[in-house]
Amino acid sequence: MSESPEVATRYVHKYGGTSVGSVERIHAVADRVARSLEAGQQVVVVLSAMAGETDRLEGLAREVAEEIAPRERDVLLSSGEQVSIALLAMALIKRGFAARSYLGWQVRILTDDAHTRARIEHIDTDALNDDLANGVTPIIAGFQGIDTRGNMTTFGRGGSDTTAVAVAAAIGADECRIYTDVDGVHTADPRIVENASMLHVVTFEEMLELASLGSKVLHPRAVEFAGKYGVPLRVLSSFGDGDGTLITTEENDMEQPVVSGIAYSRDEAKLTLLGVPDVPGIASKILGPIADANIEVDMIVQNVGADGSTDFTFTVKREDFVRALELLEAVKADLDARSVEGDNHIVKVSVVGVGMRSHAGVATRMFDALAAENINIRMISTSEIKISVVVDERYLELAVRAIHAAFDLSDPPVKD
Amino acid sequence: MSESPEVATRYVHKYGGTSVGSVERIHAVADRVARSLEAGQQVVVVLSAMAGETDRLEGLAREVAEEIAPRERDVLLSSGEQVSIALLAMALIKRGFAARSYLGWQVRILTDDAHTRARIEHIDTDALNDDLANGVTPIIAGFQGIDTRGNMTTFGRGGSDTTAVAVAAAIGADECRIYTDVDGVHTADPRIVENASMLHVVTFEEMLELASLGSKVLHPRAVEFAGKYGVPLRVLSSFGDGDGTLITTEENDMEQPVVSGIAYSRDEAKLTLLGVPDVPGIASKILGPIADANIEVDMIVQNVGADGSTDFTFTVKREDFVRALELLEAVKADLDARSVEGDNHIVKVSVVGVGMRSHAGVATRMFDALAAENINIRMISTSEIKISVVVDERYLELAVRAIHAAFDLSDPPVKD
């Protein structure tokens, strides 16, 4: 147990829009970074734009044009982080620390040229490593990069998480700490399940399911990235002092609960094509036009048919429901199907946990809990670490609470 | 008189903060640029930040720290133009024109590393010329550049004018048009002299005197730059359709009025050291400490002394008055001078005109006009194209009107 390690621990701190939403909050962030530095840690900070700023800028763009040129949208939106990084640098310098702000192109965060949803291809680390070696704290604008031709690019909403993880991977950080307005990842949404408990550890895979299913704590792409490069991620509150939730790779000696948490998604809609010929290639004939229209499909269920025909059901985001329905009517005529049905008052509830791989009976326990509350299951879909059901939206809270209780999640699943 | 010139006329349009102060105003700018393009002109646009934005950002910085790190101040402030250029590009693209926004570093406007008051050293024109050749309108963020180490720099208030002129010089524009909220340069401030007339043509030298003396239409550095590189400059209204004022080199056949205009400056203060030894080197002993304190000195007057001593008077900006007075008290003890006097209720009124070089009697006419109104002259200073007097501040309006009338400036001095 050495008290003074020779090599400093290296952290990436990422603060979201709410955490830098005012001058007062920026000072609070500066204090937190200062405490890390005083403890002998090396810190690279990644910031989002001040809360509300991105919405303000998008509002201006929408006032100017209905169709917004993507290249110019990226120039516009990337001005938001420029403000927050400069202000935090000023606040740290005021406290006597050397600090230096970096825009995406200054770091050089190289991306492809897919404006508004660019992907990071490479991060130059020379300047960052030099700064850290010289006691300077780099403060990087999240969400933005530069393509090979020198155009500004952005990563889409939540992209600052991706910046933080990518930077952590590039500089070999010991941990990437995502400071947010919640104290960690919970077994269920605390607004629905009052006694939901905080998870101390989850795996990347679990977090991915929890994030993409609606526990809006971390951007899924960031989790994916962290998993791919093995960057330990921690979600914790920028307002309090808790240890938050560590997201890491599965370890053999980890005391693994069967189920980590219950996720849900409200904005779902379901479409069914009834009586389609049960022949090969039918799925792509149905989903092709949907995909061409850039509508994301989530769950897909096809039952074995009787008398040579079958029913084909899938879910889409609720905002895409009307358009998907129109497209399906065209497909119906084309395939000589019997009819189209749709329901945009459904929700998805999922049980997530790496432990369920090795445990039979998770599904039964989930379905029993729903049956006991007389909740009808409309669709079922399963993966290695997840079981999802679609139910009527009026049952959402009831279903989440019933399943949460059935798996005894109110007690912290991992004690430490 | 060819109706269709083979080489397109090339313009730089610069629009200030008020001209892009709202989405509505940005659309008006887009319409104006579109008209130029439809007339077959090539246009490069330079923009300021939307009105009020720079003040908002500076306010945030002041909330964060009293002493603002200059490098970070430049990162913060340069976000303002980023918003306006993106919005104008969107507005032009919406109208069916190809347009592309450029930040200072994207053009590459290379500057020295003097943050907050950087000077342009070089402008890369390859991308701009390519764009113009391909029918793309470049829209450049004013006020900002990049130093050799990749840091953002800014040029100080009014720096967008400098960007416009420098770009015009670099790409060999036929004219640099500064669109603003006034319709041109006047013979005097129209708020003081009701019948002040608009000047159709002035020389760079005259404009320099008029600008630095308080006709706040154009930034002096931009005028200097334009004069140095022979870029024809035009000041005109972004709200109306007039031809504005052309600022150009003096031509022999130009019908040259004796006096072009009357300028004034309100924020002046005057300090006098009485009874200093009349020996060589005394001026630098007095002004050295003032210069060391970064206080700008404007007029300097020293009379021939009697009995081996003299009086030394100079003017400073009113905001520097108290500090200058303190410094002068120390100098007084040092030089064994008799006493220090100061007055911070004075103003400066100047007559400007290249024509006065060849005309005797301008000074007499000016002094007569003041005497006729019983206005006491406190200081006099002259240059080749300017005569300035210091008077009590209560006489400002009266003095400007009297001199304006004495030189018959209400009639347009150049008819065309």
- Cα A292 to Cα A323: distance, rounded to the nearest angstrom: 12
More confident residue, B184 or B123: B123
**Measured between CA atoms, how close is A91 to chain B, in angstroms?**
6
- Averaged pLDDT for residues B160-172: 96
Type of residue found at A169: A
Residue B85, helix vs strand vs coil: helix
Find the CB nearest B87 among A64, A78, A94.
A64
**Measured between CA atoms, how close is A63 to chain B, in angstroms?**
7
**Measured between CA atoms, how close is B326 to chain A, in angstroms?**
29
Find the CB nearest A75 among B68, B69, B85.
B85
Residue B59, helix vs strand vs coil: helix
Q: Which residue of chain B comes nearest to A54, CA vs CA?
A: B83
- Cα B259 to Cα A324: distance, rounded to the nearest angstrom: 75
**Residue A62 near chain B (CB below 8 Å):** no
ipTM beyond cut 0.95: no
Q: Which residues are within 8 A (CB) of B245 and not within 5 positions of it... i.e. 6 or more apart?
A: B184, B185, B198, B199, B200, B201, B202, B234, B235, B236
**Measured between CA atoms, how close is A58 to chain B, in angstroms?**
10
- Least Cα distance to A79 among B82, B59, B22 occurs for B82
Report whether B260 contacts B352 (CB < 8 A): yes
DSSP H or E segment with residue B186: none
The interface residues of chain B toward chain A in range 338-357, judged by CB-CB distance below 8 A, are none
What are the C-alpha distances in Å from B386 to residues B42, B230, B261?
Answer: 37, 22, 10
What are the C-alpha distances in Å from A232 to residues A137, A224, A246, B199?
Answer: 21, 12, 7, 69
Q: Which residue of chain B comes nearest to A30, CA vs CA?
A: B64
**Measured between CA atoms, how close is A146 to chain B, in angstroms?**
11
- Averaged pLDDT for residues A139-162: 94
**Measured between CA atoms, how close is A131 to chain B, in angstroms?**
14
Q: Residue B34 has which token pair?
A: 């579109």
> Could you say which DSSP state residue B198 is in?
B
DSSP H or E segment with residue B269: strand B261-277
Indicate yes or no: CB of A87 within 8 angstroms of CB of B93. Answer: no
Residue B254: the pLDDT is 54
Residues in chain B with CB shorter than 8 Å from the CB of A85 are 75
Q: Which residue of chain A comes nearest to B57, CA vs CA?
A: A83
pLDDT higher than 50, residue A184? yes
**Residue A378 near chain B (CB below 8 Å):** no
Find the CB nearest A64 among B23, B64, B73.
B23
Counted across chains A and B, CB pairs separated by less than 8 A come out at 111
Report whether B195 contacts B245 (CB < 8 A): no
Residue B5: the pLDDT is 47
Q: Which residue of chain B comes nearest to A77, CA vs CA?
A: B83
Residues in chain B with CB shorter than 8 Å from the CB of A93 are 65, 69, 72
pLDDT higher than 80, residue B406? yes
Residue A15: the pLDDT is 97
Report whether B183 contacts B194 (CB < 8 A): no
Find the CB nearest A90 among B68, B82, B89.
B68
Residue A1: the pLDDT is 41
**Measured between CA atoms, how close is B94 to chain A, in angstroms?**
6
Q: Which residue of chain A comes nearest to B53, CA vs CA?
A: A83
**Residue B82 near chain A (CB below 8 Å):** yes
Indicate yes or no: CB of A83 within 8 angstroms of CB of B79. Answer: yes
**Residue B335 near chain A (CB below 8 Å):** no
**Residue A270 near chain B (CB below 8 Å):** no
The interface residues of chain B toward chain A in range 191-220, judged by CB-CB distance below 8 A, are none
Residue B2: the pLDDT is 42
Residue A416: the pLDDT is 42
Indicate yes or no: CB of B93 within 8 angstroms of CB of A72. Answer: yes
Percent of chain A with pLDDT strictly greater than 90: 63
**Residue B140 near chain A (CB below 8 Å):** no
| B360-373 residue pLDDT tens | 788 888 999 999 99
The interface residues of chain A toward chain B in range 2-61, judged by CB-CB distance below 8 A, are 23, 26-27, 57, 60-61
Find the CB nearest A69 among B69, B78, B93.
B93
According to DSSP, the β-strands at B386-392 and B379-383 are antiparallel
Indicate yes or no: CB of A89 within 8 angstroms of CB of B72. Answer: yes
**Measured between CA atoms, how close is B222 to chain A, in angstroms?**
26
Residue A389: the pLDDT is 92
Grade residue A45 by pLDDT with cuts at 50, 70 and 90: very high
- Averaged pLDDT for residues A63-83: 95
Find the CB nearest B90 among A69, A86, A152.
A69
- Least Cα distance to A273 among A326, A339, A321, A343 occurs for A339
- Cα A120 to Cα A146: distance, rounded to the nearest angstrom: 9
Residue A361: the pLDDT is 82
DSSP H or E segment with residue B203: strand B201-203
- Averaged pLDDT for residues B211-228: 78
Best of A79, A124, A143 to substitute, by most chain B Cβ atoms within 10 angstroms, is: A79
Residues in chain A with CB shorter than 8 Å from the CB of B102 are none
Instruction: Choose the weakest-confidence range: A75-79, A282-286, B13-17, B313-317.
Output: A282-286
pLDDT higher than 70, residue A38? yes
Q: Which residues are within 8 A (CB) of A274 and not within 5 positions of it... i.e. 6 or more apart?
A: A311, A337, A338, A339, A340, A341
Grade residue A148 by pLDDT with cuts at 50, 70 and 90: very high
Residues in chain B with CB shorter than 8 Å from the CB of A76 are 82-83, 86-87, 90
pLDDT higher than 60, residue A250? yes
Residue B349: the pLDDT is 94
Report whether B132 contacts B138 (CB < 8 A): yes
Residues in chain A with CB shorter than 8 Å from the CB of B94 are 64-67
Instruction: Choose the weakest-confidence range: A116-130, A174-188, A279-293.
Output: A279-293
- Cα A209 to Cα A352: distance, rounded to the nearest angstrom: 7
Residues in chain B with CB shorter than 8 Å from the CB of A78 are 82
**Residue A114 near chain B (CB below 8 Å):** no
Residues in chain B with CB shorter than 8 Å from the CB of A136 are none
| A276-303 residue pLDDT tens | 888 777 888 898 899 888 888 888 888 7
Find the CB nearest B101 among A61, A65, A72.
A72
Indicate yes or no: CB of A82 within 8 angstroms of CB of B87. Answer: no
Find the CB nearest B89 among A26, A72, A86.
A72
Residue A128: the pLDDT is 97
* HEC readout, chain A: CCCCCCCCCEEEEEECCHHHCCHHHHHHHHHHHHHHHHCCCEEEEEECCCCCHHHHHHHHHHHHCCCCCHHHHHHHHCHHHHHHHHHHHHHHHHCCCEEEEECHHHHCEEECCCCCCCCEEEECCHHHHHHHHCCEEEEEECCEEECCCCCEEECCCCHHHHHHHHHHHHHCCCEEEEEECCCCCECCCCCCCCCCCECCEEEHHHHHHHHHCCCCCCCHHHHHHHHHHCCCEEEEECCCCCCCEEEECCCCCCCCCCCCEEEEEEEEEEEEEEEEECCCCHHHHHHHHHHHCCCCEEEEEECCCECCEEEEEEEEEHHHHHHHHHHHHHHHHHHCCCEEEEEEEEEEEEEECHHHHHCCCHHHHHHHHHHHCCCCCCEEEEECCEEEEEEEHHHHHHHHHHHHHHCCCCCCCCCC
Name residue, tokens 């809360």.
A51
Residues in chain A with CB shorter than 8 Å from the CB of B106 are 150
Report whether A347 contacts A266 (CB < 8 A): yes
Neighbours of B13 (CB within 10 A): 27
Find the CB nearest A57 among B63, B71, B83.
B83
- Cα B416 to Cα B400: distance, rounded to the nearest angstrom: 26
Cross-strand pairs, A194: none
Residue B128, helix vs strand vs coil: helix
Indicate yes or no: CB of A79 within 8 angstroms of CB of B79. Answer: yes
Does the predicted model carry a pTM greater than 0.80? yes
Best of B53, B73, B76 to substitute, by most chain A Cβ atoms within 10 angstroms, is: B76
Q: Which residues are within 8 A (CB) of B413 and not within 5 positions of it... i.e. 6 or more apart?
A: B187, B197, B199, B257, B259, B260
End-to-end C-alpha distance for chain A, whole angstroms: 19
| B326-339 residue pLDDT tens | 999 999 988 888 99
Residue B256: the pLDDT is 65
